[in-house]
């Protein structure tokens, strides 16, 4: 069964990169075409997707020896799990009772201009009341739930490459 899925690690890293590019494209579509403004946690998740995609792209282009593939697999897993932790926080905020949701904060452009960088980054990673709002669902699940699923799949794909080295 697994022989049908047995590509070398380089191809899997490229497929992971394409998945990340597709996720970023979907985010741009929802923002620019559908008019959904991203909250601070949404932007943080996009940055995690971008970082994971960059790791996958470099791994696919570089394709070092067995030790290098294992290192890229570990790095890709870590970046994807970082994104999954941000998505988990977002899902948690969306499921809080209305009286427990944090206050909505100012827009990010304003925060970057007038707040210290550390405070802005802390707010981006902790979320605001804007993050608790559900603007879009598919099959009853919000966008952060789907993003969490995507991060977990990317982490799994990357982790499995530790055992998928084929000599050139």
Q: What is the pLDDT of residue 60?
A: 87
Give 142's strand partners: 137
**Residue 19's domain spans which residues?**
2-163
pLDDT, residue 124, reads 66
Read off the CATH number of the domain in which 104 is found.
1.20.1550.10
* Mean pLDDT, the chain cut into blocks of 10 residues (168 residues total): 62 92 94 85 90 94 82 93 91 80 64 70 64 80 92 92 68
**pLDDT at residue 110, as a whole number:** 64
End-to-end CA distance of the chain: 23
What pLDDT score was predicted for residue 102? 66
Q: Is 11 a domain residue?
A: yes
Q: What is the pLDDT of residue 19?
A: 96
Rounded-to-integer distance, Cα 82 and Cα 59, Å: 18
pLDDT at 82: 93
The span from the CA of 33 to the CA of 113, in Å, is 27
User: How many structural domains does the chain have?
Assistant: 1
Does 168 reside within a domain?
Answer: no
54: exposed, middle or buried (Cβ count in 10 Å: 0-12, 13-18, 19+):
middle
Classify residue 120: in a domain, yes or no. yes
């Amino acid at each position: 069964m697994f022989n049908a899925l047995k590509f070398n690690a380089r191809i899997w890293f490229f497929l992971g990169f394409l998945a990340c590019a597709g996720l970023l494209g979907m985010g741009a579509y929802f923002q620019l075409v559908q008019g959904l403004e991203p909250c601070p946690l949404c932007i943080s998740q996009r940055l995690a997707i971008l970082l994971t995609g960059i790791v996958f792209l470099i791994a696919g282009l570089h394709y070092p020896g067995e030790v290098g593939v294992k290192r890229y697999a570990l790095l890709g897993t870590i970046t994807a799990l970082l994104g999954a932790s941000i998505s988990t926080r977002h899902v948690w905020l969306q499921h809080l009772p209305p009286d427990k949701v944090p206050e909505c904060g100012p827009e990010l452009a304003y925060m970057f201009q007038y707040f210290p960088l550390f405070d802005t980054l802390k707010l981006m990673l902790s979320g605001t009341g804007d993050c608790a709002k559900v603007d879009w669902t598919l099959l009853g699940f919000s966008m952060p739930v789907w993003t969490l699923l995507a991060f977990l799949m990317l982490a799994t794909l990357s982790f499995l490459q530790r055992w998928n080295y084929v000599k050139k």
